[in-house]
Amino acid sequence: MPGLLNRMCHIGFHVPEGQQLASNLVRQFGFELFAARVAEWSRQLAFRRGDAVFLVNERLKPAKRDALPVPSSGCRKDKGILYDVDLEYAVSTASNICFEAEDVPGISQSLQERGCQILIPPTAVGDENGHVTYSVVGSIIGNISHTLLDRSGYSGPFLPGFHMVEGAPKVQVGGQVTHFDHITYACPQGSSQAVLDWYKNCLGFQRFPIHQQDNGTDGYTIQGAGMGLRLTAMQSNGSDPTLLRNDCKIILAESLSEQKKNQVDTFLEQHGGSGIQHVALYTTGIIGAAAAMARSGANFFKPPLSYYSEKRKVEEIRQAGQNLQLLKDHGILLDAGVGGSGGSGGLCEKQYLMQIFTKPLFTEDTFFLELIERCGATGFGEGNIRALWQSVQNYMDQQV
């Protein structure tokens, strides 16, 4: 079913009131609060940086529900939320990926005939700028749902029901963030193939190899030294890996550990099941972005110091023309063992990518962000997985 989805629109969170996600997106990561909607039981806040948009749904405490001001538009406060299910989840979670699509009623009917669960049937919402139609479909993995949104008849800056926020605090955090690069799911052992099949049959996603050792069937497996992990990848809009800004790339991380509990197992336990483990933000200047975010209070994982003294890695960094000390100072990983050509980042003699990962953004050791910069590379830092795994595992072990 190629071409079913036009583009990714936003990623939705569900958090309780008082959780610091909204303020941290602005203060630490330089996102702008640009639209808001206040309902009787919840508050919806839209943040953007470049084309990356997060929609934070905050469930309000009963004592404060009636104390909130009515939006400046003067409209009454509705009880529920829009463009997502009204999710009551035990922990903070990223759970909704919204796609722009055409013929939402037709797609929804087709999905229902395929056995998919339609959580919200096609619904029209409008204001003075036009109208949109959306529906929400439940996936087969954890609490993840997908909003299908037709906004072809809407000319407003975000979505009907939201008012534009003027005068919201803005924090200048350096480094350019342009769009979502990929999303990673944490999956139970043995579940990846069923997830791949669902996305292919229902939403038209296509499998693509994540590594030269990935035969397109079994994924890329890393085992040894107390770790076991299988990675598989899929994307919307066919099988062209160079469509970096318009399609949605999803990585499935499946634990194969037969030994001590690892970070995928920890996610599954603390999150209460599978879900979105992290979202990667694409940047055209990762060193500047990471430095600025760190100065603003963002906490990043640091790889083992031995990572920057390995002869092969030192040579990779030198060949890429990057400054070893700068990467070491900021904890940035570089991987030259990645495939592909073209893509974001301009023309590069050497193909490589650089990446860095934040510590968990919630109280639980679940969701985090990644910064990634590509120079002609379309992989996902497979050569860095062991270093990343070790740095995250060291952090997890310290939390016990």
> What pLDDT shows up at residue 165?
93
Contact 35, 164 (CB under 8 A): yes
> What pLDDT shows up at residue 95?
97
Contact 262, 224 (CB under 8 A): no
Taking the CA atoms of residue 239, residue 186, residue 282 and residue 379 in that order, the dihedral angle to the nearest 10 degrees is: -50
In angstroms, the CA 389 to CA 263 distance is: 8
CA-based R_g, the chain, Å? 21
> What pLDDT shows up at residue 152?
95
Q: Does the domain formed by 7-164 have CATH 3.40.50.720?
A: no
> What pLDDT shows up at residue 239?
41
Domain coordinates of the chain in residue numbers?
7-164, 177-399
Distances (CA, A) of 399 to 79, 235, 266, 277, 393: 38, 34, 11, 18, 10
> What pLDDT shows up at residue 211?
65
Hey, do 7-164 and 177-399 end up sharing a CATH topology, with the first three levels equal?
Answer: yes
**Residue 386's closest CA among 333, 350, 339?**
333
Distances (CA, A) of 111 to 2, 133, 248: 14, 16, 19
Crossing angle for the helix pair 385-399 and 263-271, to the nearest 10 degrees: 50
| Predicted TM-score of the model (pTM) | 0.89
At residue 241's C-alpha, the angle toward residues 46 and 348, to 5°, is 100
> What string of H, E and C letters represents the secondary structure of 50-80?
CCEEEEEEEECCHHHHCCCCCCCCCCCCCCC
Mean pLDDT by 10 residues, the chain (400 residues): 76 93 95 94 95 96 56 56 92 97 95 95 97 98 97 95 84 84 94 94 88 64 72 74 66 79 87 97 95 95 87 92 95 77 52 93 94 87 69 62
> What string of H, E and C letters represents the secondary structure of 99-166?
EECCCHHHHHHHHHHCCCEEEEEEEEEEECCEEEEEEEEECCCCCCEEEEEECCCECCCCCCCCEECC
Q: Which fold has domain 177-399?
A: 2,3-Dihydroxybiphenyl 1,2-Dioxygenase; domain 1 (3.10.180)
In angstroms, the CA 74 to CA 373 distance is: 44
